[in-house]
Structure 1
Amino acid sequence: MTQTSPPGWHPDPGYTGIGPVQERWWDGNQWTDHLRLPPATIRRRRIRIGVTAGVVALAAIGTGVLLLSDPSGGPKENAATAPSTAPSGAPGGGGRGGGESRAPERQLPQTEDGYATDLAGGISLPVPDGWKGKSGIAGAGVTTGEYACPGDTSQQCVRGGVFSMPATALRLDTSTAKATATKDISANATESYGEKIYGGITSHQELKSEPVTVAGQQGYLVRWKVVTKNGDDGYVQSLAFPSPRSKEMLIVVRSGFDINAKAPALSVMDDITKGIKAASGTSSGPGTTA
């Protein structure tokens, strides 16, 4: 978090993977001891690679990922919002019988031109020319190529997408970056190209499984080619590496590209992976390589 981030509930950065994912109160300057389970009434829409373009809650994260700004100038009308009511006992919080006290209206995170920034993770994703980027408190994403989904034309799919999120939000094995990426790839493929939108995945081929240096951190990536029943086949990649902000936090970056003449070339996935860097103001090692 930064000094410019207003108070609010956000995914707990100290989540250990044991028990349900909780939200922790950020008071505008630091994380407090106030925790809660995400309210059942607040439902975040998922975004699958190739599904529901522009929706800002990322796949498989029950608490949602708050993507707030669009460096590429894309629409923000779909942006998810976090509850801004302060917890009882927290600074500015309302007690029993009192009126609700709300935090100031949420400000957009400060980001660099040409990048979508994940503030909690301390990383920035490059936004290729013609793509849309969204920055957020606990996640970031870039997408391109909207079209009607093959299994449900009432929904919009995208030809390519790359999204970051904390590994703990996905309840993955976070013992090593390799274990995290290896575990996540199957879920990534299912979220990206499974279910009724693509009719499920009939087969997959592993294209890569290797260590990689990202944002100065030693990570690991796994890449599959998947074959679907309906619509385009696709490439999916799960990348895991320690956050430049905290070695204790593993970041997962999920990528998914359609295999289609109108979709981005697979080399763009490599370019984005290589271009991930520590966010401005975050200390990191030397430049990235892949």
Structure 2
Amino acid sequence: EGPGAPSAPGQEKGFASDPVSGIKIPVPDGWTGGTTERGAAVQTAPLPCPGNAEEQCTRGSAYSQTAERLHLDGKTPEAVAKADIKSNANEGYGGKTYGRITSHKVLASESITVAGQKGYYVRWKAVTEKSDDGYVESLAFPSPADKSKLVVIRMGIDVNPKAPSPSVMDQIAKGIKAGPTGDGGAGAGQEV
């Protein structure tokens, strides 16, 4: 599943397809992206993690999976985004990779439309013990392919001059669109 892998059906240049949730995530300039076992992921080039040089980190990433897969049982995008943000921050910037998160500041907590669906996002600035702080965002919205399922996009960008601007998170959110689902059906009423 590397960059050299043949593209899966439904792949579109400049997008990473998530056939599980029926969406496509835009790949920002200079980033790579592709389909994963749980959804889709886009990221900057790997580099050694600041807290553990034997592990690989990135300056920026965004990946999708279902709320169910993350064991989030909120019924609304707002509930799911608010429930996920702490885990997202800890997995992205806590532990051995960046050290402990010592505090955070809520930068945004508001409604957003994603792929034509009414969603919600929460963005934090996480302050770490050892290294770069991070901007983290949990974005939740109904799957365009199945409105009863909620999709979560977890994003993270280092607070570092070499990292992308946090505005890339907004570009990614605005660029997400409905895509083919994994069951071979293209989803109802899709524009081509």
The answer, yes or no, to whether TM exceeds 0.5 is yes
Query: Which has a greater percent of strand?
Result: 2
Is 1:164 matched with 2:64? yes
SS in 1 for 2:79: helix
> Which protein shows a greater Rg?
1
Cα deviation for residue 136 of structure 1 reads 3.8
Question: 1:238-266 deviations in whole A, cap 9, x for unaligned?
Answer: 00000000111100000000011110001
For the 8 Å contact 2:135–2:158, the answer to whether it is kept is yes
Residue of structure 2 equivalent to 1:245:
145
Structure 1 Cα separation of the partners of residues 94 and 36 of structure 2? 26
Cα deviation for residue 137 of structure 1 reads 5.5
Structure 1 Cα separation of the partners of residues 55 and 38 of structure 2? 25
Cα deviation for residue 108 of structure 1 reads 3.4
**Aligned residue type for 2:171:** D
Residue of structure 2 equivalent to 1:146:
46
The Cα RMSD (Å) is 2.0
Is 1:118 matched with 2:10? no
Residue of structure 2 equivalent to 1:227:
127
Give 5+ residue unaligned stretches, structure 2.
Answer: 181-185
Question: 1:59-111 deviations in whole A, cap 9, x for unaligned?
Answer: xxxxxxxxx4x6xxx355xxxxxxxxxxxxxxxxxxxxxxxxxxxxxx93431
Equivalent residues, number: 186
Structure 2 Cα separation of the partners of residues 233 and 75 of structure 1? 32
Residue of structure 2 equivalent to 1:50:
none
For the 8 Å contact 2:10–2:179, the answer to whether it is kept is no
Which residue among 175, 187, 190 is the counterpart of 1:282? Answer: 187
Residue of structure 1 equivalent to 2:76:
176
The 3 A distance-change label for structure 1 pair 149 and 284 is farther
**Aligned residue type for 1:282:** G
Q: Which ranges of 4 or more aligned residues in structure 1 deviate by more than 4 Å?
A: 283-286
Is 1:198 matched with 2:81? no
Is 1:212 matched with 2:116? no
- Scaled by the length of structure 1, the TM-score of the pair is 0.61
Residue of structure 2 equivalent to 1:131:
31
Give 5+ residue unaligned stretches, structure 1.
Answer: 1-67, 77-106
Is 1:256 matched with 2:166? no
For the 8 Å contact 1:120–1:139, the answer to whether it is kept is yes
Is 1:273 matched with 2:173? yes
Q: Percent identity?
A: 51
Cα deviation for residue 188 of structure 1 reads 0.2
**Aligned residue type for 2:187:** T
Question: 1:103-126 deviations in whole A, cap 9, x for unaligned?
Answer: xxxx93431111001001000000
Question: 1:128-187 deviations in whole A, cap 9, x for unaligned?
Answer: 111010114640000003221111111111000000001001111231110000000000
